[in-house]
Amino acid sequence: MDFNSLVRGALPTFGANVSHPGNSSTENGLPDGLLDTLSPLLGLQFNPLMRLFMLLHSLIGSHLGIDPTYILTSVGVIWAANKVWAQLYTTLYGLARQYFMASVEVSNSDDIYFQMMKWLAAQPEMVDSRSLTAETASKGAWEEEDESDLTTARVGSDGSGVYLNFSNQEAKAAPRFTPAMGLHSFWFRGRYFKLQRKQESLFDPTAGVQGTPQYKDKETLVLSCFGRSPEPIKQLLQHAKEQYYLDHQAKTIVRRPSGQAMRRYGHRHSWQQVANRPVRAMKTVVLDDEQKIRILSDMNEYLHPATPRWYANRGIPLRRGYLFHGPPGTGKTSLSFALAGVFGLDIYVISLLDPTLTEEDLLALFTSLPRRCVVLLEDIDTAGLKRAEDPPSSSSSSSSSSEDDDTNKSTQVGKDEADNKDKDKKSSPKKARHKSKNDWKVSDLARELKRHGSSDSSEKKGISLSGLLNAIDGVASHEGRVLIMTTNKPETLDEALVRPGRIDLQVSFTNATPLQARELFVRMYEPESTRSGSDSLDASPIDIKEHVLSPLPPLTPFSEPPPTPFSLSSDKDGNMTDVSGATEVDDDDDDVLSPPPSSVLPTGAKKPAPLKLAALPSPSPHNNTLVEQQRRERLTASELSHIAVQFASKIPSGQFSPAELQGFLLKRKKTPRRALEEVEAWVQAMVEQKASRTRVLSMAAQ
């Protein structure tokens, strides 16, 4: 059957009206006389386009044996049928949605939207969809990476030194695919779901910066399924939510205030997630066990579901505040994160030094906190919050008033500027008095203008003490949160800020004691497998002892180094020698490490039996590589504990912060014996560096 007869058969009605090529058509396949009649009328003989069309028409007709009119007719019919079908489908789908389908709308201003999108991106059905949106998905610092993705680069003219190379890590990161705008479908638990992703632009008269009108894009997901109950969609959304938080289980989410423009929308938009880091285990924070237990039990009691009723019955506002004070690098922030990890809470970090943060913003931020969370105000002493000595002048008036008496004692950050102005006036009264109008110079004028400018801006920016107190415990402040303030200088804080009710418990941090130095050492070198990844995160009651109690035996702190310092060297055969004489050494592989001197043992503790050490080869040109050294430095638990004691004995009590010790150990993180060997020189260099008050470290102090 040829094409012409096929089309004719398929289109009988059209066929009836169309002349057959053999008997009633022209050579061109057009009806008899049609072109002859129309051409002079339309002037077609002279139209080059028309002539070209006729030429093509005759070529197709004669060479392919197909009547071009039929082709054109078929295309038209298919196009029309498609249009009719699309219209029909839309009408039928609309009717079906209205009467036989349930649907749920999710707006992108809600967390569920992001949870659903993340889930959809992980569904192969969706990824196979033909209409997708690609997004760049970079991995966070704490996300697992495939080590096979890593490349290495050789460095050095002699080819030595193989280093990791991350130059193409972004190129290797797979994009994330989400459903594009439009209609999609997928199956979930044996059910067929329809998904419509749509976007519309809304005009918001106050959306722009400084309240200017702006168009805002709003996205919506419409999820629907067959049946009159929306239950399957609810289950789907619940599932997506659970999957989303599965990823967050052993993580602590850190949030900071959003940018100025976003903060205007309030609530969910006030805060933005800045990190999702693995939970910091409480055991990794080296702090007096008693202090740890105190704060853990206090927080546990406060967060108990029965507590709000207890507080309400007694008319006490449900708030709890803690002040962590101590020198820099002693673990204040670390403890805050560990606490958030133990209780499975998110951390909301606010910097009062943020120049864009106004008191209204701060208030709004506190009111948009979730029911339970940790709010961290770091280095509160640096925020310039002062109590006004004098009655507030016009320049120091606070933008918000409070019902609380304390809040009237406020000063703006930047009041120093105004004080300087006064001082200037006092120091040169004569100058000011005798200066006639004509004495003014351009430079004076410029200085005055600068002063005015800077004092104006300082009045507008910054948080006053009253503003902070309002936010912490004003009427609108959210109840149920845990507030942690950290400071290096507790004595400089205003008493209104630390009064009971605002600060309920203070935790003091100090520079490392030998006990803490030992614990830090053990934590640094203990084998990976024995270290607990995270604290328990479910809502079941926590076992405080399990979180706190260190597995290390108690140690009596000592103030002086032991009389026989532990020092290792090795002979040319690689055998260990204790040059101090504290270690017995023999020539075979069963080297013996003598127990620590009794001065470093707990009072009344029995001196342990000598420990056996595997023979350690000496560093030589052949085996002096880092890997080799690390292999040699592998320790058993008892060896580690033993060396830790030796290490601690060389750390003068209260002189170095845990952060400093950690820094020293980190540089020798796989070579504990080297750390022990080098610690004395380091201590000496550090002491000298501190005495000279220089910030530049010598090589020995690193």
Ligand X SMILES: Nc1ncnc2c1ncn2[C@@H]1O[C@H](COP(=O)(O)OP(=O)(O)OP(=O)(O)O)[C@@H](O)[C@H]1O
Query: Which residues of this chain interact with ligand X, rule CB under 6 A?
Result: 284-287, 328-334, 486, 488, 509, 658-659, 662
Contact between 677 and 568 (Cβ < 8 Å): yes
Query: Structure tokens of 498?
Result: 């630390």
Nearer to ligand X, 286 or 679 (CB): 286
Select 286 or 295, whichever has its Cβ closest to ligand X.
286
337, burial (CB in 10 Å: exposed 0-12, middle 13-18, buried 19+): buried
* Alpha carbon distance 284, 342 (integer Å): 12
Q: To the nearest whole angstrom, how small is the minimum distance from the Cβ of residue 327 to ligand X?
A: 7
In this complex, which beta carbon is closest to ligand X, that of residue 286 or of residue 568?
A: 286
Shortest distance in whole angstroms from residue 286 CB to ligand X: 4
Strands (E), 328-429: 347-350, 374-377
Tokens 């193989």 sit at which residue? 162
CB of 659 to ligand X, least distance (A): 3
Q: Give DSSP secondary structure letters for 78-110.
A: HHHHHHHHHHHHHHHHHHHHHHHEEEEEEETTS
- Name the residue nearer to ligand X (CB basis): 121 or 282: 282
- 287 or 611: whose CB is closer to ligand X? 287
Could you tell me the smallest distance in angstroms from the CB atom of residue 335 to ligand X? 7
> Residue 334 or 466: which CB sits closer to ligand X?
334
Report, in Å, the least distance between residue 332 CB and ligand X.
4
Residue 399 near residue 506, CB atoms below 8 Å: no
The least CB distance from residue 108 to ligand X, in Å, is: 36
Least distance in Å: CB of 292 to ligand X? 10
334/410 with CB nearer ligand X? 334
- Give the nearer residue to ligand X in terms of CB position, either 133 or 351: 351
Identity of the residue, 509 or 566, whose beta carbon is nearer to ligand X in the bound complex: 509
- Name, in order, each residue with C-beta under 8 angstroms of 547's C-beta and a sequence gap of 6 or more: 282, 283, 292, 296, 342, 535
Please, what is the Cα angle at 278 between 274 and 280, to 5 degrees? 110
Alpha-carbon Rg for the chain in angstroms: 39
Using CA atoms, how far apart are residues 252 and 590, in angstroms rounded to an integer?
A: 46
In the complex with ligand X, which residue's Cβ is closer, 195 or 296? 296
Residues 6 or more apart from 591 whose CB is under 8 A from it? 575, 576, 583, 585, 612, 613, 614, 615, 616
CB of 259 to ligand X, least distance (A): 24
Query: Nearer Cβ to ligand X, position 325 or 632?
Result: 325
The answer to whether the beta carbons of residues 512 and 651 sit under 8 Å apart is yes
Q: Which is nearer to ligand X, 195 or 282 (CB)?
A: 282
- Kindly write down the DSSP assignment for every residue of 281-295, as one continuous string: PGGGS---HHHHHHH
Shortest CB 349 distance to ligand X, Å: 12
Please state the closest distance from residue 485 (CB atom) to ligand X, in A. 12
Cα–Cα distance for residue pair 8/61, rounded to 1 Å: 15
Please tell me the distance from the alpha carbon of residue 518 to that of residue 406, in angstroms, as a whole number. Answer: 44
- The least distance separating ligand X from the CB of residue 291, rounded to whole angstroms, comes to 10
Closest CB to ligand X among residues 617, 658: 658
Closer CB to ligand X, 330 or 396, in the complex: 330
- Angle at the Cα of 507 from the Cα atoms of 644 and 369, rounded to 5 degrees: 115
Least distance (Å) between residue 653 CB and ligand X = 14
Residue closest to ligand X when measured from CB atoms: 331
Q: Kindly report each contact of residues 389-397 with a partner whose C-beta sits within 8 Å and lies 24 or more positions away, as own/partner.
A: 393/418, 395/455, 395/459
Closest distance between ligand X and the C-beta of residue 370, in Å? 24
Residue position matching structure tokens 């004719």: 8
Q: Crossing angle, helix 637-649 and helix 672-691, to 10 degrees?
A: 20
Measured distance between the N- and C-terminal CA atoms of the chain, rounded to whole angstroms: 91
What is the CB neighbour count within 10 angstroms for residue 680?
A: 14
Amino acid at 394: S
The helix (H) or strand (E) run that includes residue 661 is: helix 658-666
Shortest Cβ 656–ligand X spacing (Å) = 11
Beta carbons of 612 and 591 less than 8 angstroms apart: yes
CA distances from 528 to 522, 524, 613, 672, 685 (A): 12, 10, 21, 15, 31
